[in-house]
């Protein structure tokens, strides 16, 4: 693996870093306090080609490689995890599975709208009683003429309330558990589809989160994504994409904490000198830097494997597990360096600290990642 970024990757990094600093960052705190998703900013992001980064140009995307895809997630996460979460879902959990599993007609119909930011998408897998165990989902899909009729509920769905298209999973064979799940492309406006926003979250307050309700929702058969009863494969493949950008976003958030702490430590005077000169402050910042750099290398390794088309489920879980735990440790130290001020919304580290917590929970908890990694090492699955 070449650890040097190519000239194209450097240009992408410079462009998204400038956009994040000048457009996303100035309103991130305000949007967090209001609990509002700034769709206008996402549209501007899309205008620069950053709403369809790894999607080929023939489908309206930018045709970026996977390391560039991670760089975009990292730089957005460096200033605002809420926007990074929206980006991850739009690209990794909606566009990439359509590109990988959809037929040609579906790709041409949906990818240009999503990659341009005209449409927003969401990933409807989690249910009130089916989180880490998606095979236990209760949502059903019953064949009815040239349609399927879907019934069920999804919860904790990022982008649910703003999505024009949802990838929804339901059981077409209730007795077959994971082997009876099918993925569907469900458009807002289809009969029986509705959403409800969720509020009062610990973090990611400027990212839309909601529930999906399927009440005799009629979905045309041509909107099956992949094959009937093969939806679990679609879901697991999708999570490999999603966990990758979560890990990259965690690296970005950790770097954001470091950026803020360096500036604060140099400016903050105690005992007559900057706290940056205190050995224990330097130790905390050194630990933060080492952990962030280690996470970045894990993410780039996965990106290199994805670019080569090499299976990477194990390595993706390693990156997601490490980076999601790492950013929580880094954000904790960032609060500590700021002292009492870190406990106040006056400084962005408070928002970074709150936002960090979700990373160990969604798209597979840290414990699920440990079980995946353990299964690869031992050859025995804990689930069966």
The catalytic residue positions are 363
Q: What is the CA radius of gyration of the chain?
A: 21
Question: If DSSP codes are grouped into helix, strand and coil, which group holds residue 149?
Answer: strand
Of 111, 152, 113, nearest in space to 130 by CA? 152
Say which residue the tokens 């000198």 belong to: 273
Of 122, 17, 119, nearest in space to 68 by CA? 17
Distance of alpha carbon 3 from alpha carbon 82, whole angstroms: 29
Beta strand 121-124 pairing with 165-171: parallel
Under DSSP, the state recorded for 175 is: T
Distance of alpha carbon 166 from alpha carbon 243, whole angstroms: 19
Distance of alpha carbon 83 from alpha carbon 53, whole angstroms: 15
Distance of alpha carbon 208 from alpha carbon 286, whole angstroms: 35
């Amino acid at each position: 693996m070449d650890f040097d970024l190519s000239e194209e990757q450097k240009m992408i990094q410079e462009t998204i870093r400038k956009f994040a600093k000048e457009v996303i960052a100035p309103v991130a705190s305000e949007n967090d306090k209001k609990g509002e998703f700034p769709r206008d900013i996402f549209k501007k992001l899309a205008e620069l080609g950053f709403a369809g980064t790894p999607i080929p140009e023939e489908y309206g995307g930018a045709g970026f490689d996977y390391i560039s895809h991670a760089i975009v997630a990292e730089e957005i996460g460096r200033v605002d995890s809420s926007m990074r979460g929206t980006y991850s879902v739009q690209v990794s959990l909606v566009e990439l599975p359509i590109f990988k599993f959809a037929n040609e007609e579906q790709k041409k119909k949906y990818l240009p709208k999503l990659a341009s930011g005209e449409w927003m998408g969401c990933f409807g897998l989690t249910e009130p009683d089916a989180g880490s165990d998606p095979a236990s989902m209760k949502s059903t899909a019953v064949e009815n003429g040239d349609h399927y009729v879907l019934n069920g509920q999804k919860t904790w769905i990022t982008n649910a309330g703003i999505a024009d298209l949802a990838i929804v999973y339901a059981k077409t064979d209730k007795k077959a558990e994971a082997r009876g799940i099918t993925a569907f492309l469900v458009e807002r406006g289809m009969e029986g589809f509705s959403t409800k926003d969720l509020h009062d979250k610990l973090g990611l307050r400027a990212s839309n989160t909601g529930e999906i309700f399927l009440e005799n929702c009629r979905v045309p058969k041509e909107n099956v994504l992949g094959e009937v009863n093969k939806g679990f494969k679609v879901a697991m493949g999708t999570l490999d994409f999603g966990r990758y950008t979560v890990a990259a976003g965690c690296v970005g958030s950790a770097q954001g904490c470091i950026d803020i702490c360096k500036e604060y430590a140099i400016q903050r005077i105690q005992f007559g000198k900057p706290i940056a000169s205190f050995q224990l402050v330097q130790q905390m910042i050194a630990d933060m830097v080492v952990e962030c750099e280690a996470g970045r290398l894990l993410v780039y390794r996965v990106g290199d494997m994805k670019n080569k088309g090499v299976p990477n489920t194990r390595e993706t879980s390693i990156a997601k597990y490490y980076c999601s735990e790492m950013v929580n440790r880094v954000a904790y130290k960032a609060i500590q360096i700021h002292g009492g001020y870190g406990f106040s919304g006056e400084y962005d580290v408070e928002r970074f600290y709150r936002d960090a917590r979700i990373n160990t929970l969604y798209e597979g908890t840290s414990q699920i990642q440990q079980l995946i990694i353990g299964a690869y090492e031992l050859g025995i699955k804990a689930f069966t």
